[in-house]
Amino acid sequence: MNDDLLERWLDAVLATRGLTALRDREEARRVLLDDALAGLELVRRFDGPIADVGSGGGTPGIPLAAALPEREVTLLEAERRKAEFLERWTADLPNLRVIWGRAEDQATDRYTVAAAKALAPPPVAAEWCLPLVEAGGAAILWVGPSADANAVARVAARLAAELEPAPPGFLVLRKTGPTPPGFPRRPGVAKKRPLA
């Protein structure tokens, strides 16, 4: 893995205003880098292109792109300033690309993995991620201990997906068919009227 690149990336995230509230470098390493790589084996279960939805300063997508150079990794980020910061890292990582835009506005059934960390409450993150994933792939959510897996499972059922076993700190939603008609709902709707 390109350790030097990841160190430079961590420094840049910490030095750039508005990317993270973290100030301590070791804490940033744990949250932005180690937590991202904790999902590596789950991501490896599904071969093909990866999207990091709501990438912010680039996690989990940049650590995953560095660890999986043979996989195409797309960082999807709604805020232009953050997308511009992310674009800088495509020079070092040939498998990385960046889209400035919202999850709800993207083509559907395009990726095998949609990964999301701290994107939104898990039922909303699930609704934003699952339309991006093709049948056989999965949305992989990094979640806290209070995440309501039953609510996420109800969202998954509406989007042709089901919850599958995963280690603590993750919810894995395997897509079993194409995105049903009516999804994604218009931007803003998933947050205003969550499915669960």
Compare residues 72 and 79 and give the one whose CB is closer to ligand SAM.
Answer: 79
Stretch that binds ligand SAM, among 1-9, 38-46, 72-80, 167-175 (CB under 6 A): 72-80
Task: State the Cα–Cα distance between residues 119 and 124, nearest whole angstrom.
Answer: 9
Q: Could you tell me the two tokens for 31?
A: 């949250």
Stretch that binds ligand SAM, among 84-92, 97-105, 155-163, 177-185 (CB under 6 A): 97-105
- 185 in the Ramachandran plot: left (φ > 0), alpha (ψ -120 to 50) or beta? beta
Task: State the Cα–Cα distance between residues 110 and 89, nearest whole angstrom.
Answer: 23
77 φ/ψ angles, rounded to the nearest 5 degrees:
-145, 130
Using the rule CB under 6 A, is 89 a contact of ligand SAM?
Answer: no
Task: State the Cα–Cα distance between residues 63 and 1, nearest whole angstrom.
Answer: 9
Using the rule CB under 6 A, is 103 a contact of ligand SAM?
Answer: yes
How do strand 73-77 and strand 133-142 relate by DSSP bridges? unpaired
| Minimal distance, residue 112 CB to ligand SAM, in Å | 19
CA 154 from chain center: how many Å? 20
Cα within 13 Å of Cα(106), Cβ side: 27
Compare residues 74 and 112 and give the one whose CB is closer to ligand SAM.
Answer: 74
Compare residues 136 and 188 and give the one whose CB is closer to ligand SAM.
Answer: 188
Cis peptide before 184 (omega within 30 of 0): yes
In the shown chain, the binding pattern of residues 122 to 161 toward ligand SAM, with x for contact by CB under 6 A and - for none, equals ------x---------------------------------
Using the rule CB under 6 A, is 185 a contact of ligand SAM?
Answer: no
3-state secondary structure of 142: strand
Compare residues 103 and 156 and give the one whose CB is closer to ligand SAM.
Answer: 103
Using the rule CB under 6 A, is 33 a contact of ligand SAM?
Answer: no
Stretch that binds ligand SAM, among 43-51, 87-95, 100-108, 153-161 (CB under 6 A): 100-108
List residues near ligand SAM by CB under 6 A: 53-57, 59, 76-79, 82, 102-104, 117-119, 128
